[in-house]
Structure 1
Amino acid sequence: MTTRRQFGDSWDHRLRARRRCEAPTLCVSADHFPRRSDVPRLSLALPHGVDPVTRWRVTARAHESFLSAEPGAGTDVRPLVLESWRRSAALHVDPDRAASPVPLVDDALAEARAAHPLRHVMPVVRKLLVEDAADTGVLVIVGDAEGRLLWAEGDDDLRRRAERMHLMAGSAWREDDIGTNAIGTALTLGETVQVFGSEHYARTVQPWSCTASPIRDPHTGALIGVLDITGGASVVEPQSAILVRSVVAVMESELRLVRPAAGAVPAATGRLEVLGRDRGLLVLGGKPVELSLRHTELLLLLSANPDGLSASELAWQLYEHDAAEVTVRAEMSRLRKAVPDLVSPAGRYRLRMQLRTDADDVTDRLADGDHCGAVQLYPGDLLPRSIAPGVVTMRYRLHGWLRNVLLQSGDAEALRRYARTASGREDVQIWRAVLDRLSPASPHRAEAAAVLADLDDNLGHVG
């Protein structure tokens, strides 16, 4: 049996080998790696100097206290783990569940592998990780964005033991499938996660440890999968996190060279209409869904923050006054029930697909200098009834950008179109600009002069 020391030495060897670029055809410079400056600092499961036996016992006691709902339970575990336990409990995951579900078998698994872009980089994974896994007592796992495992390779004995709890190709390892685990939690949070032994929510998984990192499409930034190493305590040592993140960087760099096949179906997208509307209209797969104002605000804020927002960040952008994070979580839970699979579960909330808004269309036209096109696509202010601070800021910025561009360089027709909208019909400065830029022979001059006179009589705005 491979000892902890031997495993650590082997992993150190792999790290040194990667630094020396012993496989030149697979090496890429750091400049080609996707930048990760926005990723929060990794929470290490076993920092240097921490005794794994002591850590396991302390965490196991905290786990039992948490399940027993004892006061103060969870104070002895990492915040990342405690939050995941809470999500697992809220999802009604059975801590005594013996195995995860297996949604992909036989032909379904083969089809999922053949259709997934990660198939192109599996030779890289095998070269950098799997070749040594058989000698070090490690499983190397690659899954899709839904937490379904597509490949599980490595130590044969370990694979046979892992299959008892369905840690194998075809199984599903999201948090709502089997609770806290590196694969599911990394997908939920969108960042590298280590889970050590008794930090797992399901007791059957607690003899294992794992380090997982999400994989993103280098062309779109969308989360497309996860890379995981599973084994004993050594797979959650600091150097394992470095190794996994480095291999993911190489995978993403290789994926950059892969172009979508001609006629390939594009990634799922949705559309959210928010301009001149009291509440949003969401269109998914051609089906319109009327949203409440609060749900519209949530989706709008998430669409503007593709890297996701925490409950506290959403609370700050949603409410004029202080609001508890639990209020945001409750609203998000209702949204996820109303529109399933659109938003990731609790943790750092993210959209699971690209969501384009009609406000995006206007900003694109403005950026291209197409003033008339921008006005044509602008029926009114963004969610005019919303008082959510984050939404109000977006509304003022878009309205201010459009208005200022028109006043500075917009032609008479673009100005006149804007003046007829709800945003411009009582804007004296806009109507003055319309009158100034219309030709002397224009039939619209009489209208502009009449509006200015009316504003003078009724609002006292014209001197």
Structure 2
Amino acid sequence: MDTETLNTTQTALNLAPDPLVQFDVLQRVHEATLSGSRSPLSPRPVISESWERSLAAHIDPDDFRPPIVYQPDEVAEVRSAHPLHAVLPPLRELLVSIADESRHVMIVTDAEGIILWREGPANLCSQADPVGLCEGTGWSERAIGTNAMGTALAVDAPVQIYSAEHLVRTYHGWSCAAAPIHDPDTGELLGAIDVSGLLDALHPAMFSLVNATAQLAENHLRRRMEWLDEQLLTKNMPHLARLRGEPGALLTPTGRVIAADRLSRWPRRIAVDAERVLLDDGREAQVEPLAEGYLLRVPETRASRRPTLELSFLGDNPAAVINGRKLPLTLRRAEILALLALHPSGLTAEQLAFQLYGDDGNPTTVRAEIHRLRGQLGGQAMRAKPYQLCAEVEADFLTVRDALNAGDAAAAVAACPAPLLSRSDAPAIRAEREQLVVAVRTAVLGHPDLDVLWQFAQSGTGRDDVEVFERLTRELPASDPRQAVATARLDWLLGED
């Protein structure tokens, strides 16, 4: 039910602006409705629905005594621990002075409708005490029937109650307006802010003022929550950093996610009432308590492991496979993937533009190309700022590099059937291709095993190398059939020159 509906008296009642005339009309509606006799007017929907709930809870319209939930010596301790304790200063600043001048009391309840604070003119407070409008008493609809505080909490919306719209007759001399206050963290009801006054002190702007004050209180709580989040982050970010790439998140004491690795999607809130929780995507996560808040960890399993990206870029026809799915590739996207694989710490758009195009590179062009590439790979395989591959990369040209670094010439030759992206003219790719060929060639020419040299001679990088075939023709025995093949190939190469 919206605020406008709750605050409109004209929907069912054509009331005069004079509070005493309103009282007379509402009194007749109240008596007719409760007695079951016919009334020329109907109560507002919010009122009739509240009366129904109150009567169903066995509230006696002639019994005005709200229950005493907390004794005076207990109230101070309860409210000091209540979240709304933090918003009392701005509430006082906005409402109490106005309440004093307009002969109203300001009241703040908890989510159960129990009054925790009441402030206002001393003479009005002395009139409120005998009817139980005081700290420690319960004002939910279940406790005392229709009233602004209890009804606002029941419908979770601002409400104004005029005189005889109260179910209990004792309160027909009072009018009040109330609005609920929510926890910005969990969204749960924390309580209500209420302004109550005697019938002749009713001010038409009070409903709007109370509603605005409730919003002010929620904004104050939100700013406080954000400040506490910052404190929590400052203290606990090292815990997240120590996961070293393992999926994880930092949680507030209520389980709200405030920081996480960029490789995973997390829900807004995690249940923290168990050591292990099942995430929406099926992963099982561990909840580890910290001094403040929690660290959520997702130990790597087969299901949660990083994506695997396989790159076959040696030769004329580059191919890429992500988690078993083949990716359609243009040469430019293959070049980008190769450069990112060669720079695992990542590259900026400016760096990529220079490596792809030289001094004429345009970072905007690179960003557009990477945007399309990320769409193919998925967000878990590539991140931005800087652009970086987050998948487990298995690349044939990296395998060649690793073999060379390990001094295993045979493995390097076996893994290098052709040059890197042989059709690419990108400056950085061309340089890497030439360096890789030179490194493999140098390794095999200095290797004593002629089988390794022969294998290199059959590859796309060695088949036109005169020096390779000179050594083969010189060192292969005349009885080795490869000697004649090597001699013929050398003669052809020399003839080509």
TM-score (normalised: structure 2): 0.45
The answer to which structure, 1 or 2, has the higher relative contact order (CA under 8 A, 6+ apart) is 1
TM-score (normalised: structure 1): 0.48
